[in-house]
Amino acid sequence: MKIEKIDIVRFAPRGKDSFIEAVTSKVKAYFETNDISPYANTGMWVKTIVMLLLYFVPYIFIVTGFGANNIWLFFGLWFLMGWGMIGLGTSVMHDANHGTYSPNKKVNTTIGYILEIIGGYTVTWKIQHNVLHHTYTNIAGLDDDINSIVLLRLSPRQPWHWFHRYQYIYTWFFYMIMTLFWMTAKDYLQVVRYKHHDLLIKQKVSLKQAIFHITLYKLFYYGYVLVLPLLFSGQPWYYVLTGFFIMHFIAGLFLSSVFQPSHIMEASAFSLPVTIDGTKHMEDSWAIHELANTTNFAPNNRMLSWFIGGLNFQIEHHLFTGVCHVHYKKIAPIVKATTAAFKLPYHEQPTFFRALLEHGRMLKKLGKKSLYA
The backbone region for 270, taken as left when phi is positive above 0, alpha when psi lies in -120 to 50, beta otherwise, is left
Q: Tell me the CA distances in angstroms from 219 to 213, 244, 265, 285, one per residue in order.
A: 10, 16, 38, 43
Backbone angles phi, psi at 348, to 5 degrees: -155, 135
Would you list the domain boundaries of the chain? 9-366
Q: Beta 295-297 vs 347-349: how paired, if at all? A: parallel
Q: Are the CB atoms for 279 and 246 separated by under 8 Å?
A: no
pLDDT, residue 370, reads: 86
Q: Are the CB atoms for 344 and 288 separated by under 8 Å?
A: yes
pLDDT, residue 276, reads: 82
**What pTM was computed for the model?**
0.94
pLDDT, residue 1, reads: 42
d(CA 34, CA 331) in angstroms, rounded, equals 12
Cα of 171 vs its chain's centroid, Å:
17
pLDDT, residue 369, reads: 87
pLDDT, residue 372, reads: 74
Three-state secondary-structure class, residue 279: strand
Q: What angle do CA 208, 211, 215 make, to 5 degrees?
A: 140
Task: Find the Cα–Cα–Cα–Cα dihedral 245, 251, 253, 258, rounded to 10°.
Answer: 180
Three-state secondary-structure class, residue 180: helix
pLDDT, residue 195, reads: 94
For each successive 10 residues of the chain (373 residues), what is the average pLDDT?
A: 66 91 98 97 98 98 89 97 98 97 96 96 97 95 92 96 97 97 96 93 94 97 97 96 98 97 96 86 95 98 97 98 98 98 97 98 95 74
DSSP notation for 7-30 = PPEEPPP--TT-HHHHHHHHHHHH
d(CA 50, CA 148) in angstroms, rounded, equals 33
pLDDT, residue 4, reads: 57
Q: Are the CB atoms for 315 and 290 separated by under 8 Å?
A: yes
- How many other CB atoms sit within 10 Å of the CB of residue 139? 25
